[in-house]
Amino acid sequence: MPAQAVRIKGLRQLHSALKRYEADLKRELENELRDAGQIVAEQARDRFGSVDARSAAGFRPRLRGFGRVVVEQRLRRTTGMRGDYGSLQMRRALLPAVEASQERIMEHVEGMLDRLGRENGF
């Protein structure tokens, strides 16, 4: 029987390749991607804590579809008095956190893919 080979060009291709294997493997990949999003969430909390500690505690990573991780504000709006508050969070915390964490995120994702590949015979 010939050996199977999997070629991965991107996350969508990885997702379809993983569908052919175990559902547990897909779940593990999603957890690892969420952990990568946690890097940005922690950085954003640190940056926004001096502005509003309660609001900073609400930053959480979330999966949106496969391979798309977002960090969003999970707390509900309390007063509605500042129409620019979401923009303030983006400018002061979220965008700078992504920029500052970009290298760590790439290292995390590459390490995760290498580990999953080794463990599952890719």
Q: What is the pLDDT of residues 45-98, one digit of tens each?
A: 999 988 888 888 889 999 887 678 888 888 877 777 777 888 888 888 988 998
Q: How confident is the model at residue 42 (pLDDT cuts 50, 70, 90)?
A: very high
End-to-end CA distance of the chain: give it in Å, rounded.
Answer: 17
Q: Determine phi and psi for 70, rounding to 5 degrees.
A: -125, 150
- DSSP conformation letters of 12-52: HHHHHHHHTS-HHHHHHHHHHHHHHHHHHHHHHHHHHTTT-
Report for 18-22, 36-40, 75-79: range of highest mean pLDDT: 36-40
Residue 9, pLDDT score = 56
Domain boundaries, the chain: 22-119
**Helix (H/G/I), strand (E/B), else coil: 8:** coil
Q: How far apart are CA 32 and CA 93, in angstroms?
A: 23
- Residue 22 near residue 76 (C-beta atoms within 8 A): no
Q: Say what percent of the chain tops pLDDT 70.
A: 80
Q: Does the predicted model carry a pTM greater than 0.85?
A: no
